[in-house]
């Protein structure tokens, strides 16, 4: 375990890395050529462009959060960055939000336009200032919304951070990882750049795995089947790094006698637009999925385990795409509850005997509506469930939220502030930490390794698959 404290000026002054942007230009990336993903242009008046965009993106909700802060400082006790670095006042959420608030005050609000010094209103002077702004909003906040829910005024600091990220994304002043994922999302329709061939091959492989396990050659993962009860959508991480989770889900659906399908396109339920602040990208990815469900005449959309994917697909995506919700959508956890409750699947909790705790994903608990569902399931599929404190909408971020995992340059700071989560995990004495988010799986795994915790990360589907009683197979046994 390292007790080293990062020098924050090293983070805030990290230069703008343009290698990937240059590479994309050389390779004639379609997303770049079509102007969907912006590259940094030092010859443009980026400050002026940022100010113009800010003016056009202000909604009443955002303005109320910009004018509503009274600088009471209560938010600093709710932020894991601020709690882990009590010596560093720049970690205070109000300070981070003030970076855009100051610009708003100087450029749009009243008092700041006349007496800027009185309310600390100021405009960025040059691109270096914009780069510093980039490092603050991308590198020192995971957008977990804990400060929002703890603000006496109800100021939505996370939304202000996202707004700022979106403005900088339009100028190409973004961390390299954000640029790459945005580009891949536009070009392939999924955030990890998975080709359709790889996607279909992975599903076929999982189909064979489940066929072998169930000894049932008729088991099928149907693609683009019309008029099913639901369309199942997944995280590209499942295709690339954790295909078992798709196999587990499909096996459970099959045993429950469900009629489901997966789309050949529009299957990515995650959405990097949430992290980069790019509503256009967010709307594009979400719309792909909604259109796929419509095309297949699915009665429901079921979203696999992913915090930001659930938030994007169930909530934000419709608003970004201005797409009136016409098909109900739900987390796979709700689907699982229905199966267990209706006796469509049988589970044996004794198959998960290790002590397990649950980590609430920020996007599920604070920006979604999912807190009791995972607990209801866990109480039925394991024998030793232990709460972590604080929990539900008071839980701390895994530190991998807000797209942090794709921004490697900020990892040392991320690991330092992960101490809050590490202490929380350690206090439970659990051997397994269960979460319902692929992002959290990686975030938690990183900090478990960093802080040398004797713990492993699992997801609900892993545990349900382990506890699942397969009728014929178990009878044979």
Partner 1 sequence: MSEFLRILEDEVQIVALLFMATVYTIRLIWMFRFKAGKEVTEPVGSPRVGVAYSMMNVAMPWAMESARKNLSFYVQFVIFHLGVLMAITATLILPYWPEFFESEPIVRIFQLFMGAAFAVGLIRLIRRITSPVMRLISTPDDYFSVALLTAWFAAGVFAMPNQYEVSEWPLILFFGMTTLFLIYVPFSKISHYLYYPFTRYFLGKTMGHRGVFPRKKGGEKPAGLE
**Restricting to residues 9-28, which ones interact with partner 1 according to CB under 8 A?**
none
Closer to partner 1 by CB, 75 or 404: give it: 75
Closer to partner 1 by CB, 107 or 323: give it: 323
Closer to partner 1 by CB, 346 or 392: give it: 392
Residue 71 CB, shortest distance to partner 1, in Å, is 5
Residue 119 binds partner 1, judged by CB under 8 A? yes
Residue 239 CB, shortest distance to partner 1, in Å, is 26
Residue 329 CB, shortest distance to partner 1, in Å, is 9
Single out the residue of 220, 244, 299, 375 in contact with partner 1 (rule: CB under 8 A).
375
Closer to partner 1 by CB, 144 or 407: give it: 144
Residue 252 binds partner 1, judged by CB under 8 A? no
Query: Among 172-180, 191-199, 363-371, 437-445, which window interacts with partner 1 (CB under 8 A)?
Result: 363-371
Rounded (10°) angle between helices 157-170 and 127-139: 130
Question: Burial code of 62-87, b = ≥16 C-beta within 10 A, e = fewer?
Answer: beebbeebeeeebbbebbbbbbbbee
Residue 79 binds partner 1, judged by CB under 8 A? no
Query: Among 166-174, 345-353, 364-372, 429-437, which window interacts with partner 1 (CB under 8 A)?
Result: 364-372
Closer to partner 1 by CB, 42 or 117: give it: 117
Residue 36 CB, shortest distance to partner 1, in Å, is 23
Residue 78 CB, shortest distance to partner 1, in Å, is 6
Total chain residues near partner 1 (CB under 8 A): 72
Residue 261 CB, shortest distance to partner 1, in Å, is 21
Neighbours of 345 (CB within 10 A): 22
Residue 433 CB, shortest distance to partner 1, in Å, is 18
Residue 45 CB, shortest distance to partner 1, in Å, is 25
Q: Distance between terminal CA atoms of the chain?
A: 45
Single out the residue of 80, 366, 414, 438 in contact with partner 1 (rule: CB under 8 A).
366
Interacting positions 308-337 with partner 1 (CB under 8 A): 314-315, 318-319, 322-325, 328, 330, 333-337
Residue 83 binds partner 1, judged by CB under 8 A? no
From residue 153 to residue 172, the character string flagging contacts with partner 1 as x (rule: CB under 8 A) and all else as - is: xxxx----------------
Residue 421 CB, shortest distance to partner 1, in Å, is 16
Residue 324 CB, shortest distance to partner 1, in Å, is 5
Chain centroid to CA 401: 6
Query: Among 85-93, 160-168, 217-225, 253-261, which window interacts with partner 1 (CB under 8 A)?
Result: 85-93
3-state secondary structure the chain: CCCCCCCHHHHHCCCCCCHHHHHHHHCCCHHHHCCCCCCCCCCCCHHHHHHHHHHHCCCHHHHHHHHHCCCCCHHHHCCHHHHHCCCCHHHCHHHHHHHHHHHHHHHCCHHHHHCHHHHCCCCCCCHHHHHHHHHHHHHCCCCCCHHHHCCCCCCCHHHHHHHHHHHHHHCCCCCHHHHHHHHHHHHHCCCCCCCHHHHHHHHHHHHHHHHHHHCCCCCCCCECCCCCCEEEEECHHHHHCCCHHHHHHHHHHHHCCCCEEECCCCCECCCCHHHHCCHHHHHHHHHHHHHHHHHCCCCCEEECCCHHHHHHHHHHHHHHHCCCCCCCEEEHHHHHHHHHHCCCCEECHHHCCCCEEEECCHHHHCCCCCCHHHHHHHHHHCCCEECCCCCHHHCCCCCCCCCHHHCHHHHHHHHHHCHHHHHHHHHHCCCEEEECCHHHHHHHHHHHHHCCCCCEEEEHHHHHHHHEECHHHHHHC
What's the CA gap between 400 and 411, in Å, rounded? 9
With CA atoms as reference, report the closest residue to 135 among 145, 146, 124: 124
From residue 43 to residue 72, the character string flagging contacts with partner 1 as x (rule: CB under 8 A) and all else as - is: ---------------xxxxxxxx-xx-xx-
Query: Among 44-52, 147-155, 208-216, 248-256, which window interacts with partner 1 (CB under 8 A)?
Result: 147-155
Single out the residue of 9, 111, 126, 195 in contact with partner 1 (rule: CB under 8 A).
111
Residue 101 CB, shortest distance to partner 1, in Å, is 10
What's the CA gap between 378 and 231, in Å, rounded? 25
Interacting positions 338-357 with partner 1 (CB under 8 A): 338, 341
Closer to partner 1 by CB, 47 or 74: give it: 74
Single out the residue of 263, 368, 403, 443 in contact with partner 1 (rule: CB under 8 A).
368
Query: Among 7-15, 192-200, 241-249, 366-374, which window interacts with partner 1 (CB under 8 A)?
Result: 366-374
With CA atoms as reference, report the closest residue to 179 among 138, 133, 235, 239: 138
Query: Among 43-51, 109-117, 266-274, 441-449, which window interacts with partner 1 (CB under 8 A)?
Result: 109-117
Residue 389 binds partner 1, judged by CB under 8 A? no
């Amino acid at each position: 375990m390292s007790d080293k404290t990062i020098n924050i000026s090293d983070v805030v002054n990290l230069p703008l890395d343009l290698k990937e942007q240059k590479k994309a230009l050389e390779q004639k990336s379609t997303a770049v050529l079509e102007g969907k993903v912006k590259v940094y242009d030092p010859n443009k008046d980026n400050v002026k462009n940022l100010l113009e965009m800010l003016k056009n993106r202000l909604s009443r909700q955002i303005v109320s959060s910009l004018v509503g802060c009274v600088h009471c400082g209560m938010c600093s006790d709710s932020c894991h960055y601020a709690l882990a670095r009590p010596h560093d006042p720049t970690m205070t959420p109000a300070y981070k939000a003030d970076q855009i608030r100051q610009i708003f005050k100087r450029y749009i609000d009243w008092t700041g336009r006349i007496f800027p010094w009185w309310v600390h209103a100021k405009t960025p002077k040059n691109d270096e200032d914009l780069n510093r702004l980039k490092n603050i909003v991308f590198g020192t906040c995971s957008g977990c919304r804990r400060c929002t829910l703890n603000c006496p005024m109800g100021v939505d600091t996370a939304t202000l951070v996202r707004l700022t990220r979106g403005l900088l994304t339009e100028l190409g002043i973004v961390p390299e990882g954000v640029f790459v994922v945005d580009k891949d999302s536009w070009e392939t329709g999924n955030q990890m750049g998975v080709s359709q061939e790889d996607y279909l091959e992975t599903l076929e492989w999982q189909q064979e795995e489940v066929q072998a396990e169930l000894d049932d050659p008729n088991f099928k993962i149907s693609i683009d089947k019309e008029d099913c009860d639901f369309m199942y959508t997944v995280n590209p991480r499942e295709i690339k790094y954790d295909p078992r989770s798709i196999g587990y889900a499909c096996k459970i659906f099959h045993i429950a006698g469900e009629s489901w399908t997966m789309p050949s396109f529009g299957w990515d339920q995650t959405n990097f637009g949430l992290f980069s602040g790019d509503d256009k990208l967010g709307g594009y990815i979400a719309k792909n999925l909604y259109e796929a469900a419509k095309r297949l005449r699915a009665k429901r959309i079921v979203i696999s385990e992913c915090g930001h994917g659930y938030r994007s697909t169930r909530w934000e995506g419709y608003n970004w795409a201005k797409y009136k919700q016409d098909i109900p959508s739900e987390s796979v956890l709700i689907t699982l509850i229905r199966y267990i409750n209706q006796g469509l699947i049988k589970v044996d909790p004794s198959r998960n005997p290790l002590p397990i705790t649950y980590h609430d994903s920020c996007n599920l608990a604070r920006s979604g509506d999912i807190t009791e569902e995972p607990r209801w399931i866990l109480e039925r599929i394991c024998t030793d469930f232990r709460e972590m404190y604080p929990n539900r909408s008071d839980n701390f971020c895994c530190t991998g939220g807000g797209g942090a995992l794709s921004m490697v340059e900020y990892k040392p700071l991320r690991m330092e502030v992960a101490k809050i989560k590490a202490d929380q995990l350690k206090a439970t004495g659990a051997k397994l930490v269960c979460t319902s988010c692929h992002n959290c799986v990686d975030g938690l795994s990183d900090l478990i390794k960093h802080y040398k915790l004797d713990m492993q990360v699992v997801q609900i589907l892993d545990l349900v698959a382990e506890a699942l009683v397969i009728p014929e197979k178990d009878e044979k046994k």
